[in-house]
């Protein structure tokens, strides 16, 4: 037994001293990072808030609260058309720079951020970064979505539009208002599921979401969390005590996979047992099925594309259309001009007739300028080798640059009274006005569903205003301008998750 224990030598440092030491090291590390980023960082010369030299926490916070585009827009108003928003990311709303970043020959690739939207363990066209892999896939899916190929889809869009409008009429009779967001969401999903799987999910008939749609919405939200808080989720995955959400995050993709497999099996069974049912049916994936039969594609890859289309082609159309109807419902003058124009085409109209409607075209453009489902998305791209000059600054290679429709399409130097809905501004647009309107993006990564979306938006808008020439926003069930405020994750949606419209005298 030792004769004497020197207690001062045992555990001489208290936990507080340890914490101080850790804090000092952290503070020192941050100072070094700040010093380096201030003078040598890739974005040291780009204007932006001081703290963005070391952190993007405010951006993440704004993103998680669904107000990213408002935060970015406020930075652009203060710092100009190019702003540092993180130590290695700049937001760009300059017109020439936006077109440079997205043009076909620009060489700016999507960033790895898109990987968070990968499903079923495989890339889909939206998440692909590699140029060759993407162009091969786009070749398979792009042609069936071309304007000429979609002629075969017109009867389907017409039939679903009519069904949606009859459901809206029923709701108006029963409840005194109609939720255009809900019914047009079902319409868009029924169209894209029919085109993808050979059989629609029949949400319009059922009047409610199925499990697949609920899971898709959850999965979309989870992808958003993971993309913004990747390190936190990585840490949580090692913890023995995992919150319930972690389990749901694993289970949801599994359920989605089995739903999608079942839907594809239905299609394949139909091909064998009742080929007459699908023989003349336009199918987006005809080329992909052929590629699968030739051994060039796996089933998971087809399923991943189908899921991506349903996500990309459902809510996008519904939200854009709901905002269009809401804007028009607040403008009696626009309604009477639409009604006058619609009187020139029969009630059983064709898509060619719809396309000839000049005033409607201006309404669609103007509403998409202000509101569309992707207006708040930061479209992130990597600056290619050698760096590039953008908006008067040289940006080094490897840095992320992200463009933002929201600020570009509301730029007062391009659009007079940019916050006001004025369809007539498109009567004689300036070249800048046309170039800055980019609801479907630009270049090789622009929206592959553009023609389908355009058809759905216009057919449904004409069907709606023929059925309801005079409408107003409802003031019941929590509907208000505030409920229509845009909440912005990757996509944009009304804060109240609904868009209730009525006719004068009904509510
Ligand atoms: C109003 C409706 C729509 C809007 C505003 C819209 C907008 C966009 C935008 C801006 C992009 C580029 C995204 C980026 O660069 O990150 C995009 C890509 C895409 N969209 Fe749409 N979209 C709409 C409807 C649709 C529909 C109906 C489909 C279904 C076929 C679809 C499928 C896709 C796909 C697969 C991509 C990725 C394309 C690629 O990377 O090659 N979208 N969309």
Cβ atoms 472, 440 nearer than 8 A: no
DSSP 356: T
Q: What's the gap in Å between 402 CA and the centre of ligand 1?
A: 16
Which runs of E-coded beta strand occur in 74-193?
82-86, 89-92, 109-110, 178-179
Atom of ligand 1 nearest to the CA of 188: 27
User: Is the CB of 138 inside a 6 Å radius of any atom of ligand 1?
Assistant: yes
User: Is the CB of 323 inside a 6 Å radius of any atom of ligand 1?
Assistant: no
User: Is the CB of 256 inside a 6 Å radius of any atom of ligand 1?
Assistant: no
Cβ atoms 101, 390 nearer than 8 A: yes
Q: What's the gap in Å between 138 CA and the centre of ligand 1?
A: 12
Instruction: State the DSSP H helix or E strand holding residue 312, giving kind and residue range, or none if neither.
Output: helix 299-313
Which runs of E-coded beta strand occur in 104-153?
109-110
The pLDDT value recorded for residue 3 is 41
Rounded Cα distance, 292 and 333, in Å: 53
Angle at 304 between CA 302 and CA 309, to 5 degrees: 95
The pLDDT value recorded for residue 11 is 52
The number of residues making up the chain comes to: 507
Rounded Cα distance, 139 and 76, in Å: 37
Atom of ligand 1 nearest to the CA of 142: 41
What interface predicted TM-score (ipTM) does this complex get? 0.99
Rounded Cα distance, 31 and 462, in Å: 60
Q: What is the CA 421 to chain-centroid distance, rounded?
A: 22
Atom of ligand 1 nearest to the CA of 380: 16
Q: What's the gap in Å between 490 CA and the centre of ligand 1?
A: 12
β-strands 486-488, 393-395 pairing: unpaired
Q: What's the gap in Å between 441 CA and the centre of ligand 1?
A: 8
Q: What's the gap in Å between 345 CA and the centre of ligand 1?
A: 30
Q: What's the gap in Å between 309 CA and the centre of ligand 1?
A: 8
For 89, list phi and psi in degrees, rounded to 5. Answer: -140, 135
The candidate with the shortest Cα–Cα distance to 406, out of 62, 68, 90, 69, is: 69
Helix (H, G, I), strand (E, B), or coil: what is residue 369? helix
74 CB contacts (<8 Å, ≥6 apart)? Answer: none
User: Is the CB of 317 inside a 6 Å radius of any atom of ligand 1?
Assistant: yes
Q: Determine the residue of 101, 140, 314, 447 to mutate for testing ligand 1's pocket, defined as the one with the most ligand atoms within 8 A of the Cβ atom.
A: 447
Atom of ligand 1 nearest to the CA of 137: 41
Along the 507 residues of the chain, how does pLDDT read in single tens digits?
A: 444 444 444 455 577 777 888 888 888 887 777 777 776 778 989 999 999 998 999 999 998 889 999 999 999 999 999 999 999 999 999 999 999 999 999 999 999 999 888 877 889 999 999 999 999 999 988 988 999 999 999 999 999 999 999 999 999 999 999 999 999 999 999 999 888 888 888 999 999 988 888 887 787 777 777 777 777 777 777 777 777 777 787 788 788 778 878 887 887 787 788 877 777 777 787 777 777 777 778 888 888 888 888 888 899 999 999 999 999 999 999 999 999 999 999 999 999 999 999 999 999 999 999 999 999 999 999 999 999 999 999 999 999 999 999 999 999 999 999 999 999 999 999 999 999 999 999 999 999 999 999 999 999 999 999 999 999 999 999 999 999 999 988 889 999 999 999 999 886
248 by Cβ neighbours in 10 Å (0-12 / 13-18 / 19+) ranks as middle
Q: What's the gap in Å between 439 CA and the centre of ligand 1?
A: 9
Q: Determine the residue of 144, 449, 450, 490 to mutate for testing ligand 1's pocket, defined as the one with the most ligand atoms within 8 A of the Cβ atom.
A: 449
Instruction: State the DSSP H helix or E strand holding residue 275, giving kind and residue range, or none if neither.
Output: helix 275-278
User: Is the CB of 437 inside a 6 Å radius of any atom of ligand 1?
Assistant: no
Q: Which residues pair with 90 in a beta bridge?
A: 84, 401
Q: Which residues pair with 389 in a beta bridge?
A: 394
Q: What's the gap in Å between 312 CA and the centre of ligand 1?
A: 6
Atom of ligand 1 nearest to the CA of 114: 16
The pLDDT value recorded for residue 105 is 93
User: Is the CB of 316 inside a 6 Å radius of any atom of ligand 1?
Assistant: yes
The pLDDT value recorded for residue 8 is 43
447 labeled binding residue: yes
Helix (H, G, I), strand (E, B), or coil: what is residue 340? helix
Instruction: State the DSSP H helix or E strand holding residue 390, giving kind and residue range, or none if neither.
Output: strand 388-390
94-128 residues labelled b (16+ CB within 10 A) or e (exposed): bbebbbbbbeeebebbbbebbbbbbbbebbbbbbb
294 CB contacts (<8 Å, ≥6 apart)? Answer: none
Rounded Cα distance, 261 and 264, in Å: 5
State the chain's maximal CA–CA distance in angstroms.
109
The pLDDT value recorded for residue 382 is 98
β-strands 89-92, 400-404 pairing: parallel
Helix (H, G, I), strand (E, B), or coil: what is residue 91? strand
Q: Look at the block and give the residue holding tokens 């959850």.
A: 218
53 by Cβ neighbours in 10 Å (0-12 / 13-18 / 19+) ranks as buried
Atom of ligand 1 nearest to the CA of 124: 35
Atom of ligand 1 nearest to the CA of 453: 27
End-to-end CA distance of the chain: 91
Q: What's the gap in Å between 52 CA and the centre of ligand 1?
A: 30
User: Is the CB of 460 inside a 6 Å radius of any atom of ligand 1?
Assistant: no
DSSP characters for 38-57? HHTSTTTTS---GGGGT--H
Give the pair of three-digit tokens for residue 68: 């990213």
């Amino acid at each position: 037994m030792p004769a004497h224990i020197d207690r001062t030598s045992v555990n001489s440092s208290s936990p507080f001293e340890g914490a101080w030491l850790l804090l000092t090291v952290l503070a020192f590390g941050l100072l070094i990072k700040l010093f380096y980023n201030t003078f040598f960082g890739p974005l040291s010369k780009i204007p932006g808030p001081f703290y963005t030299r070391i952190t993007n926490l405010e951006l993440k916070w704004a993103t998680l609260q669904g107000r990213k585009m408002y935060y970015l827009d406020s930075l652009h108003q203060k710092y100009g058309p190019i702003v540092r928003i993180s130590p290695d990311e700049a937001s760009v709303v300059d017109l020439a720079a936006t077109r440079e970043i997205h043009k076909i020959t620009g060489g700016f690739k999507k960033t790895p951020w898109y990987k968070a939207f990968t499903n079923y363990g495989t890339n889909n066209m939206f998440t692909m970064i590699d140029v060759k892999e993407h162009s091969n896939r786009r070749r398979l899916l792009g042609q069936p979505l071309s304007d000429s190929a979609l002629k075969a889809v017109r009867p389907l869009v017409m039939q679903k539009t009519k069904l949606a409008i009859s459901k809206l009429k029923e709701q108006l009779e029963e409840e005194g208002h109609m939720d255009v967001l809900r019914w047009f969401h079902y319409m868009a999903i029924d169209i894209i599921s029919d085109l993808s799987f050979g059989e629609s999910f029949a949400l319009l008939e059922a009047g409610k979401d199925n499990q697949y749609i609920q899971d898709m919405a959850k999965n979309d939200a989870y992808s958003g969390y993971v993309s913004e808080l990747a390190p936190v989720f990585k840490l949580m995955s090692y913890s023995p005590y995992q919150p319930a959400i972690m389990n749901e995050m694993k289970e949801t993709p599994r359920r989605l996979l089995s739903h999608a497999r079942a839907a594809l099996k239905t299609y394949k069974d139909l091909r064998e047992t009742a080929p007459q049912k699908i023989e003349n049916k336009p199918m987006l994936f005809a080329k992909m099925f052929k590629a699968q039969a030739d051994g060039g594609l796996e089933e998971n890859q087809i399923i991943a594309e189908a899921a991506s289309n349903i996500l990309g082609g459902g809510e996008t159309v519904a939200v854009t259309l709901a905002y269009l109807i809401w804007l028009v419902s607040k403008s009696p003058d626009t309604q009477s001009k639409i009604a006058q124009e619609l009187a020139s085409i029969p009630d059983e109209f064709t898509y060619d007739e719809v396309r000839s409607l000049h005033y409607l075209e201006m309404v669609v453009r103007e509403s998409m300028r202000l509101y569309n489902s992707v207006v708040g998305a930061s479209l992130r791209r990597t600056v290619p080798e050698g760096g590039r000059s953008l908006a008067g600054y040289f940006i080094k290679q490897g840095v992320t640059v992200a463009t933002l429709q929201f600020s570009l399409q509301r730029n007062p130097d391009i659009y007079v009274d940019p916050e006001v809905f004025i369809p007539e501004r498109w009567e004689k647009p300036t070249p800048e006005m046309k170039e800055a309107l980019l609801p479907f993006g630009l270049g090789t990564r622009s929206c592959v569903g553009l023609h389908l979306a355009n058809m759905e938006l216009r057919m449904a808008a004409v069907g709606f205003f023929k059925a309801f020439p005079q409408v107003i926003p409802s003031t019941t069930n929590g509907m208000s301008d505030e409920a229509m405020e845009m909440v912005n994750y990757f996509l944009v949606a009304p804060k109240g998750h609904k868009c209730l419209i009525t006719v004068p005298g009904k509510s």
